[in-house]
Amino acid sequence: MRQYKQLLLANKAWSAEIIEESADFFQRQLVGQNPEFLWIGCSDSRVSPEQMTMTPPGGMFIHRNIANLVNDDDMNLMSVLQYAVDVLGVRHIIICGHYACGGIRATLDGGTNGAVDDWLSTARSVLHDHADEIDAQPDREQKVNRLVEVNVRDQLIRLARTATIQGAFARGQEVLLHGWVYDIRDGLIKPMMEIDSKTVLEEVGRPDKVLV
């Protein structure tokens, strides 16, 4: 059987199982969504935010891109962020990187071209800004791990400086920013840092290492 047809069959089985457990489940989905979380993560196929957190449909607003980067000129992310904060009123925004990230490996190794190379320019800036610490790591794996971590740190600060987040902070809206790393070796999410309206962004240091 063609693999894409298996997806359709699995969808039918999933729908039937959900209806058996809760007959009005899909009717309730029509009412709308009220998530407390915006997840900004990597597009990597091994990382499924709802699955790893056991979040039911409607519980999490999700945006994913290669290497979980935050760019002011990325209208996709900026519109997701604005909608999540200004319309949905999410209280928590999570940037979650992950061990063995292909985008971070490519940032270290080079050799990319085209759209991917342009996209990774933000990650290369992170590498440049933290080159002393990355270069000091004893092997390539630990270099990747540490770049994953400091990339989350830098993207969280970039997120905090966006007009949407600054606007929310200014009007007293409760929004807490979280920097996490998912370890694909054991399936565990490891928190690194948090930013709120009182955080002095210029004083945010490098996070402690969580991947060893």
Whether residue 120 contacts residue 103, with contact meaning beta carbons closer than 8 Å, is answered with yes
Which of 2, 24, 28, 42 is flagged as catalytic?
42
Whether residue 35 contacts residue 56, with contact meaning beta carbons closer than 8 Å, is answered with: no
Name the active-site residue from 2, 24, 28, 46.
Answer: 46
Tell me, yes or no, if 46 is annotated catalytic: yes
Our answer to whether residue 101 is catalytic in this structure is yes
Known active-site residue 98: yes
Q: Please identify which of the residues 24, 92, 96, 98 carries the catalytic annotation.
A: 98
User: Which of 85, 76, 80, 79 is closest to 62 using CA atoms?
Assistant: 80
Q: Which of 2, 24, 28, 44 is catalytic?
A: 44
42 is catalytic: yes
φ, ψ of residue 199 in degrees (nearest 5): -70, 130
Closest CA to 98 of 193, 185, 204: 185
**Catalytic one among 96, 101, 146, 153?**
101
The residue written with tokens 């971070």 in the block is: 104
Is 44 considered catalytic here? Answer: yes
Catalytic residues: 42, 44, 46, 98, 101
